[in-house]
Amino acid sequence: MWVKVKFFASLRELMNRADARVELPEGGSVEDVWLAASDGREKPANVLAAVNMEYVDFSAPVRDGDEVAFFPPVTGG
Amino acid sequence: MWVKVKFFASLRELMNRADARVELPEGGSVEDVWLAASDGREKPANVLAAVNMEYVDFSAPVRDGDEVAFFPPVTGG
Amino acid sequence: MPVEVLESPFNPWQRLQDYETRPEAPHGRIGATAVFVGTMRDFNLDDGVAAMTLEHYPGMTEGYLERISAEADARWGLLDSLILHRVGRLAPQDPIVLVAVWSSHRREAFEACRWLMEELKSKAPFWKRETLTDGSARWVEENTRGY
Amino acid sequence: MPVEVLESPFNPWQRLQDYETRPEAPHGRIGATAVFVGTMRDFNLDDGVAAMTLEHYPGMTEGYLERISAEADARWGLLDSLILHRVGRLAPQDPIVLVAVWSSHRREAFEACRWLMEELKSKAPFWKRETLTDGSARWVEENTRGY
């Protein structure tokens, strides 16, 4: 299956990209998406994840066509 | 000694006056001012007192020339 | 830290805009502004209210507001604050009170603004008399508690 | 309960004035309005800050703000609320965020306004990058806690 990946803020700079599209086996988790999209880079402490714009844990399942986002702690307001 | 007395809001209506001037013996308290200024009317529950624009208890002493105010619970804001 | 008792209607948002654009305002240091505006409702205790008259104790009212303003400035390290309060005859929707505080950080702004409102409502010498829609009038007996 | 993510500067007091004068505003029932405005400071962590760029996650940001707005309206029985948040490049003193809530009573207004700000600061997907007065740039790493 294929998923869309997004990186924001300092994580976008670290990964050197804002968007990616990765293929992974059915039944994969957010953690698997990170592994597939990060070129083997270690996951920084505190990185957050969302699937289809909802916060999730890294153990959450992903489905074909999902949008998976990774970003650092938020600093709005 | 003489003190100025003020009544506000519902208490002003009850006493039928906004201001008074009363004489009482030296060493009197706010309670004594009430007795001298109220024509024997019973003190309503919750009535508050100030001497020279500072909240005080009814046991507080008053001095010649003081301004003593009586009023119901405040309802501003 | 100015406080004002006002005899005629005021626009809280216009007053804030004017106040913030004074040259002496502590501009670059402000990170947080917390504001409370109390407005006259057209109902109270299930009755329709047509008008309200606000009485105060001239001198004591201003003195009390100045004291709590200075106390909040010191306690929360505020950069600035502003308290406006109407007296006289009000119509529904008229602003009654504005409390605004300016601070570097939001925690202090929220806490000081709320504290000022509770101090004002529990002790500032103002009294409200309501004229109901049936023509009768009554003194408001006490304020609700805010915490 | 509208929420808006804005690309250009806004005047919070003008926006509040405009918002309150809409014909459909719940006029006579409002007794309490609580407002918080976050403003860009010219310092942070002891460094001078010359400019700030705010990034967000289009779609998720608006969805999150709409959700907390609806939750606050329901939890505190609010009459209305408004959330505005800047993105893009900001200069010192520029408003960053406005949270306003309208209620019949002050306790609900104060609590809902503060809760919305804390929810926004802890979870709404916005990120700040500061350009310091020495020309260097850095991402703000985390927000301070507000309670």
Q: Is residue B29 part of a domain?
A: yes
In this complex, which chains have at least 3 CB pairs below 8 Å with chain B? C
Q: Is residue A76 part of a domain?
A: no
Q: Is residue A36 part of a domain?
A: yes
Question: H/E element holding C115?
Answer: helix C106-123
Q: Is residue C123 part of a domain?
A: yes
For chain B, the domain total comes to 1
Say whether residue D11 is in contact with chain C using an 8 A CB cutoff.
yes
Q: How far is D28 from chain A (nearest CA, A)?
A: 31
CATH, residue B21: 3.10.20.30
Write out pLDDT tens, residues A23-62: 999 999 999 999 999 988 899 999 999 999 999 999 999 9
Alpha-carbon span C112 to D86, nearest angstrom = 25
For chain C, the domain total comes to 1
Q: Is residue C11 part of a domain?
A: yes
Q: Is residue A62 part of a domain?
A: yes
Contact C133, C50 (CB under 8 A): yes
Q: Is residue B28 part of a domain?
A: yes
Q: Which domain holds residue D9?
A: 3-138
Alpha-carbon span A7 to A9, nearest angstrom = 7
In this complex, which of D14, D20, D92 lies closest to C17 when CB atoms are compared? D14
Alpha-carbon span A50 to A40, nearest angstrom = 20
Alpha-carbon span B77 to C37, nearest angstrom = 9
Contacts of B74 in chain C (CB under 8 A): 121-127, 143
Contact C127, C60 (CB under 8 A): no
Q: Is residue B62 part of a domain?
A: yes
Contacts of D60 in chain A (CB under 8 A): 50, 53-54, 69
Q: Is residue B76 part of a domain?
A: no
Alpha-carbon span A69 to A62, nearest angstrom = 12
Q: pLDDT per position in chain B (77 positions), as tens? A: 999 999 999 999 999 999 999 999 999 999 999 999 998 889 999 999 999 999 999 999 999 999 999 999 999 99
Contact D103, D30 (CB under 8 A): yes
Collect contacts of B31-36 with beta carbons under 8 A, ≥24 apart: B31/B58, B31/B59, B32/B62, B33/B3, B33/B5, B33/B62, B33/B68, B34/B58, B34/B70
Q: What is the pLDDT of residue D75?
A: 98
Write out pLDDT tens, residues D69-107: 999 999 999 999 999 999 999 999 999 999 999 999 999
CATH, residue C77: 3.90.1170.40
- Give the residue numbers in C contacting B (CB under 8 Å), as ranges: 38, 54-57, 59-60, 63-64, 85, 96-97, 117, 120-129, 139-143
Query: What pTM value is reported for the model?
Result: 0.96
Q: Which domain holds residue B33?
A: 2-71
Q: Is residue B77 part of a domain?
A: no
